[in-house]
């Protein structure tokens, strides 16, 4: 394990994702624990992670954790389902600060929400292939049956901005038919981009199916974790103190454009770093 | 400039792309100059390139050229439109072996094909943003007007396998409406994946529009270049000699699956390398 100094209450939280999607998690944390400082990293030079291998995602994630630690973060949130599915266990074993992912919090809520025991999960190929949601849900609810479906066109459709659109509706209908056929009553939006398609997805699956957004549940879990460890920041940053910082591995312009559509009040700047040097 | 030994006729040709798309160029070279040995590299750990910056693409391409040179290639084909648009000039300045891209050959044919001077280009955001096709076409045909349109959903649709499909047809109709409105008579398929959508695209733009496939034109250009430099391999590899080798930066399975749908007789293996070490 890499050693660390004593963790400080006023240290920032590190949050990372393959690109912009993790900002939906960042936003939930901002809203739920507004005193906290945060450092966000988006791996925009190597995005997306969803179709890449466990070995590659773990290597990339390890570099990012090393980078975030140079900012003396007190905890890290892996705000990407694919990285949570593939790399979280290795990161937790290698580093000695608390690291949480987005999968377990979402799985926990889904396991408690379902009435008929039929849970759908939509996510990237990597997350579905890992069967990680199955593992976590069945630990809590061994009788639940989980139906996974990879939806590789959802991220590019979101990035094209076609959120409420006939093409997106048709694509969603095809992807989700295999799940609605199974009489699911709960559906996990298992990729950070998918909550942006929430209204189209809800129309396709019908009002009887409860959608679970792991971003929200992750912020709740983080707050409990920090509280249990007595690491919640007791006071808001002073005026003039920088509360949020953003870093990316490719140029910042495109990141900022999308980021500013997600984060209220906007993000003024993001700094580019060479992540493979960490 | 990095120095090199005298180039050998029986040395391999290096071909690279962000992923699998460049195999459409590889295939054309196989067919047009069947005596040549080739080394293919697909940057599957960092794919796609189309929405990333010039700086990042140039850095990635430089690493790949260094890797290909460890195989003593006699020439390199940048079989990716985005890398040709952004990085080719830097690579040509830094390395002392012949390096060609896919843009100039396609631009040349389009400039000679158009009758009414209205040429459409469809490609990634990077390639369209660079206006590289405009530059090359207007050098040869200053009166031509070029209409560019980025089509970011085409690559994921191809990778989903939805080649002849109502969703793909609808997406193509939206993207291409802006070009058909301009009375184009020639359309460049400016991304290596797009020839796989040729039949859908032709239906949408109508039979009056000539589609230009830069992959084909690049193989023609390469043959002329090697012939002019007296570097064509005069005889086919001996039985048992390995003619084609494939390398990738992520795991090989997924690459091989797609590769085997493109390359006749199939690709038996691909080797994973850590490209950022070059």
pLDDT value of residue B264: 77
Q: What is the CA radius of gyration of chain A?
A: 18
A158 CB contacts (<8 Å, ≥6 apart)?
A193, A194, A196, A197
Q: B74: how many CB neighbours lie within 10 A of its CB?
A: 22
Mutate which: A51, A62, A129, vs B, most B CBs within 10 A: A51
The tokens describing B220, both together, are 């023609």
pLDDT value of residue A267: 82
The tokens describing B41, both together, are 């590299």
C-alpha span between A196 and A21 (Å, rounded): 9
Distance from CA of B221 to the nearest CA of A (A): 31
Alpha helices in A114-191 (DSSP H): 125-130, 132-140, 154-160, 166-180
Distance from CA of A222 to the nearest CA of B (A): 30
B176 CB contacts (<8 Å, ≥6 apart)?
B120, B122, B149, B201, B204, B205
pLDDT value of residue B121: 98
Kindly tell me if the per-residue pLDDT of A61 is higher than 50: yes
Kindly tell me if the per-residue pLDDT of A266 is higher than 90: no
Kindly tell me if the per-residue pLDDT of A111 is higher than 80: yes
What are the tens digits of pLDDT across the range A237-259?
888 889 999 999 999 988 998 88
pLDDT value of residue A261: 83
Can you tell me the ipTM of this complex?
0.91
C-alpha span between B38 and B35 (Å, rounded): 10
Is A152 in Cβ contact with B153 (below 8 Å)?
A: no
Q: Which residues of B touch A165 (CB under 8 A)?
A: none
Cis peptide before B157 (omega within 30 of 0): no
The tokens describing A164, both together, are 């409420």
Q: Which residues pair with B90 in a beta bridge?
A: none
Q: Which residues of chain B have pLDDT under 50?
A: 1-4
Helix/strand/coil for A41: strand
| Rounded mean pLDDT, A212-239 | 95
Residue A231 confidence class, pLDDT cut points 50, 70, 90 = very high
Distance from CA of B251 to the nearest CA of A (A): 6
pTM for the whole structure: 0.93
DSSP states of chain B as a string? -B--PPP-TTSPEEEEESSSTTHHHHHHHHHHSTT--EEEEE-TTT---TTS-HHHHHHHHHHHHHHHHTTT-SEEEE--HHHHHHHHHHHHHHBSS-EEESHHHHHHHHHHH-SSSEEEEEE-HHHHHHTHHHHHHHHH-TT-EEEEEE-TTHHHHHHHT-SS-HHHHHHHHHHHHHHHTTT-SEEEE-STTGGGGHHHHHHHH-TTSEEE-HHHHHHHHHHHHHHHTT---SSPPPTTS--EEEEESS-HHHHHHHHHHHSTT-----EE--GGG-
Helix/strand/coil for A120: strand
The tokens describing A19, both together, are 């690109």
Point out the residues of B that are catalytic.
80, 191
Interface contacts A/B by beta carbons within 8 Å = 56
Say if CB B188 and CB B106 are below 8 A apart.
yes
Say if CB B116 and CB B148 are below 8 A apart.
no
Angle, CA B177 vertex, CA A20 and CA A196 arms, to 5°: 25
Q: Which residues of B touch A174 (CB under 8 A)?
A: 167
Helix/strand/coil for A207: coil
Distance from CA of B63 to the nearest CA of A (A): 13
Point out the residues of A that are catalytic.
80, 191
- Tell the residue number behind the tokens 């940057």, with chain if given: B43
What are the tens digits of pLDDT across the range B26-49?
999 999 999 999 999 999 999 999
Q: State what percent of residues in chain B have pLDDT above 90.
A: 88
- Tell the residue number behind the tokens 């005026």, with chain if given: A239
C-alpha span between A17 and A78 (Å, rounded): 7
B258 CB contacts (<8 Å, ≥6 apart)?
B20, B23, B159
Residue A3 confidence class, pLDDT cut points 50, 70, 90 = very low
Chain A residue whose CA is closest to B175: A160
C-alpha span between B213 and A232 (Å, rounded): 59
Nearest CA to B81 out of B145, B155, B30 is that of B155
Is A159 in Cβ contact with B156 (below 8 Å)?
A: no
CA trace torsion A58, A43, A130, A223 (10° rounding): 90
The tokens describing B202, both together, are 């032709």
Is A156 in Cβ contact with B156 (below 8 Å)?
A: yes
Residues in chain A whose Cβ is within 8 Å of chain B: 44-46, 51-53, 55-56, 152-153, 156-157, 159-160, 166-167, 170-171, 174, 249-251, 254, 276
Q: How far apart, in Å, are the Cα atoms of B255 and each of A153, A262, B42, B50, B198?
A: 19, 34, 8, 18, 22
Strands (E) located in chain A? 13-17, 38-42, 75-78, 99-101, 118-123, 145-150, 186-189, 210-212, 244-248, 271-272
C-alpha span between B217 and B220 (Å, rounded): 5
C-alpha span between B136 and B145 (Å, rounded): 12
pLDDT averaged over every residue in chain A: 94
pLDDT value of residue B254: 84
Kindly tell me if the per-residue pLDDT of A130 is higher than 50: yes
pLDDT value of residue A4: 47
Residue of A44, A55, A171 lying closest to B167 (CB–CB): A171
pLDDT value of residue B259: 86
Q: Which residues pair with B14 in a beta bridge?
A: B39, B76
A73 CB contacts (<8 Å, ≥6 apart)?
A11, A12, A13, A14, A39, A97
Q: Which residues of A touch B45 (CB under 8 A)?
A: 46, 52, 56
Say if CB B262 and CB B23 are below 8 A apart.
yes
pLDDT value of residue B239: 84
pLDDT value of residue B257: 87
Nearest CA to A214 out of A38, A35, A17 is that of A17
What are the tens digits of pLDDT across the range A13-49?
999 999 999 999 999 999 999 999 999 999 999 999 9
What are the tens digits of pLDDT across the range B140-180?
999 999 999 999 999 999 989 999 999 999 999 999 999 99
C-alpha span between A241 and B112 (Å, rounded): 61
Q: Which residues of B touch A46 (CB under 8 A)?
A: 45-46
């Amino acid at each position: 394990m890499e050693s660390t100094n004593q963790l400080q209450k006023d240290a920032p939280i590190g949050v990372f994702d393959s690109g912009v999607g993790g900002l939906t998690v960042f936003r939930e944390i901002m809203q739920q624990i507004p005193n906290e400082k945060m450092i966000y990293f988006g791996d925009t030079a190597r995005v997306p992670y969803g179709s890449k291998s466990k070995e590659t995602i773990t290597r990339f994630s390890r570099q990012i954790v090393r980078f975030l630690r140079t900012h003396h973060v007190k905890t890290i949130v892996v705000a990407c389902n694919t990285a949570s599915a593939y790399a979280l266990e290795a990161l937790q074993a290698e580093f000695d600060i608390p690291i949480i992912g987005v999968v377990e919090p979402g799985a926990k809520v889904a396991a408690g929400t379902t009435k008929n025991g039929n849970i759908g999960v939509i996510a990237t190929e990597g997350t579905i292939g890992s069967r990680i949601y199955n593992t976590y849900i069945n630990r809590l609810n061994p009788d639940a049956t989980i139906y996974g479906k990879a939806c590789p066109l959802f991220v590019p459709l979101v990035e094209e901005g076609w959120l409420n659109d006939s093409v997106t509706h048709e694509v969603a209908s095809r992807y989700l038919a295999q799940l609605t056929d199974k009489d699911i009553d709960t559906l996990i939006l298992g990729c950070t981009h998918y909550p942006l398609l929430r209204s189209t997805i809800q129309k396709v699956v019908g009002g009887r199916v409860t959608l679970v957004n792991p971003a929200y549940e992750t912020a709740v879990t983080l707050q409990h974790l920090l509280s249990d460890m007595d690491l919640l920041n007791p006071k808001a940053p002073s005026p003039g103190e920088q509360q949020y910082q953003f870093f990316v591995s490719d140029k910042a312009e495109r990141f900022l454009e999308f980021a500013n559509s997600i984060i209220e009040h906007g993000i003024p700047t993001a700094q580019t770093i060479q992540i493979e040097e960490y």
